[in-house]
Structure 1
């Protein structure tokens, strides 16, 4: 029996084992051709006027077939109701309320396009003109009152007239609600010379009130009848219906100079 030296596990065998045959190299593949006119990257033809899939898109635009900006609401049909209500309210109620409705309409149309923007703008213009007109009227009234106050003129309601009140201007035509009174030493056209109050009771009717007023005012003017006053006109203010009768039952007798002005009182 022979002793054998243990083999070195790291020692290569004298005759190496045959290596397995290598895989055959793959044939070279050409790169795909760049998309040209009428071709897409995937080889499909492109219709005239269309853009290849994945191609550049102009800023602010979407490719054909894209549903659009998802954050923009589609336009609504018809005219905005707030714009219509604003115009009607401006004429029927108040320009201020109509202007508020118009602003609401413009805000809603901006968020979701709809007809009525021109209507809302017209409402704002009309409302602005109304405000200017009202301001002008108030300015005229204030200026007129200040001018009358500076001239010593006081507008008195006819139910507050009393004997001895001198009236700067008097026009007997139409309804009279107040009269401009001045000092009797200032130039004036008329003067209240008598006031009579009917007794309590129901309204006797226009005919009876007029007849009683004519009689009372005629008799009350006799003490002031002179050659200088005999050509003057006599007017009387009286309650014309039951509503005015309930407020005041008095009549005011007024003597009016037909031409020129008076500069002195008749009753004093």
Structure 2
């Protein structure tokens, strides 16, 4: 009785898959084959020469959206002329034009890739120092306005510069300027030569600025009425002169009128 050997195949007696190939045992010095090495879009085999860029089956990387790309600027294109002008104008005290040219220069330096930013900033800083200096000087001038020296009877004993609103009845002034706005007057002792004596002070009615002509008319009428008492006292012929507020001082609350008798 003969024995038939079982058919060749995988363990368990299952037939091989259709189209499959049963690999044999590897030979000495030969790499086992497992269906071949898959290809990935032209990737070189192990040990082969590298391929050129862009030949690996993947598209080139696109820039990521939302990330700003750095832009290169060349060297500065000279020094901005307005920046230089701002510094010079600031040094000589032309404050308004120094500020204007300095602000424009800062914008142009950035837009045109120029030098001069430090010059423009220096011009603005110097202009600010001028403004601060003027403000401090004005405050000091107002704070140090001298009070005239007076004797026991109230008469001025020394020549002193004062504001018109500090004149009192009986004070004498060195001279009177009949033109323009008067900000300071020089008081002198009435015992010596003088250019006029204060004989009355009064206030105009408060309210909105009535206009220069109306203020002058009211001041003249008030001083004329108050001069009647002096007609018999005048040692020699004289004229009436008056100081009145202007629109600027009116807005600050000045309503005072000072009447003076001035020798002819």
Alignment TM class, shorter chain as reference: 0.3 to 0.5
Normalising by structure 1, we get a TM-score of 0.43
TM-score in terms of structure 2 length: 0.43
